[in-house]
Amino acid sequence: MLDIERMPEHVAIIMDGNGRWAKKRGLPRLAGHNAGMKAMKKIADHSDKLGIKYLTVYAFSTENWKRSIAEVTGIFKLLVAYVESDLKELVTNNVKVNVLGDYSSLPEDAVRSLERTLRETKDNTGLVFNIALNYGGRDEITRAVQSIEEKISSGLLTADEITEKTISDELFTGSARADTPDPELIIRTSGELRLSNFLLWQGAYSELVFSDVLWPDFTPQEYEKAIADYQSRERRFGGR
């Protein structure tokens, strides 16, 4: 049973295992991503029901460009289909969509439909749904350093004024729009035990929960199991 008083405010998920899910069924990899997208939608709905304020999903990493053109193009087609078909629902459900990552290099139609989604959900006050696209933790920190350097060069900041907050504020999660606190819980599916360049700075004190279930099979019930696992732990942040 979940303790409603101790729900994480921010859950982040590495949605892994779509390819293996498809392979097990003798289906093309894209069928796995399609099933993964459906799982993603259910988990977003369920997050809202559980009173989670921020949900971040790792949908496409800076390294995923190395996959075949067909797979990459297919993933973005799915993304467009998702935002286009579910946009109305996102708006009525008061979900605020936000992108983590430099999405300007995505295919043009994906950029267009993302921008529309960002625009149409910008005043929503419910679940903040961060989709990490062309996202990498090291890339994010590199960009933050560049931006801080520019502020120093233009006299807006001195080196000794830099604090951890200065850095957090420069990350994609620290933008005025996302304004997302560090995740208390990071979940990775499919039995892989790595962070894979996800939320490197923000995840410093996150509890990690690994599920053996492949992402398309990750149901709201599995999600609640992961949250229950999180709730059974004691968080000390380096203290005693």
Q: Which of 59, 127, 128, 187 binds ligand FPP (CB under 6 A)?
A: 59
Tokens of 55: 């949900």
Least distance in Å: CB of 36 to ligand FPP? 3
Length of the chain: 240
Measured at CB, which residue is nearest to ligand FPP? 19
Residues 144-203 that bind ligand FPP (CB under 6 A): none
Least distance in Å: CB of 184 to ligand FPP? 22
Choose between 20 and 151: whose C-beta lies nearer to ligand FPP.
Answer: 20
> In Å, how far are 32, 184, 215 from 240, measured between CA atoms?
44, 18, 35
Would residue 16 show up in a list of annotated catalytic residues for this protein? yes
Phi–psi pair at 236, nearest 5 degrees: -120, -10
Span near ligand FPP by CB under 6 A; candidates 46-54, 56-64, 203-211, 220-228: 56-64
Q: Which of 2, 9, 20, 224 binds ligand FPP (CB under 6 A)?
A: 20
Site track 124-143 with ligand FPP (rule: CB under 6 A), x = hit: -------x------------
Count of residues touching ligand FPP (by CB under 6 A) = 18
Span near ligand FPP by CB under 6 A; candidates 35-43, 101-109, 122-130, 166-174: 35-43
Least distance in Å: CB of 123 to ligand FPP? 22
**Short-list 120, 114, 152, CA closest to 132:** 114
Q: Are 147 and 168 in contact (CB under 8 A)?
A: no
Query: CA-CA distance, 65 to 9, in Å (whole number)?
Result: 31
**What phi-psi label fits residue 124: left (phi over 0), alpha (psi between -120 and 50 degrees) or beta?**
beta
Strand partners, 54: 10, 128
3-class SS of residue 120: helix
Question: Does residue 15 touch ligand FPP according to CB under 6 A?
Answer: yes
Q: Are 21 and 35 in contact (CB under 8 A)?
A: yes
Would residue 134 show up in a list of annotated catalytic residues for this protein? no
What is the DSSP secondary structure assignment for residue 115, as one 8-state letter? H
From the candidates 64, 93, 124, 197, which is the catalytic residue? 64
**Please, what is the angle between helix 69-92 and helix 29-50, to 10°?**
30
Strand partners, 208: 186
Q: Which of 13, 37, 44, 55 binds ligand FPP (CB under 6 A)?
A: 37
Question: Does residue 17 touch ligand FPP according to CB under 6 A?
Answer: yes
Task: Give residues in contact with ligand FPP (CB under 6 A).
Answer: 15-20, 33, 36-37, 40, 59-60, 64, 75, 78-79, 82, 131
- Tell me the catalytic residues: 16, 64
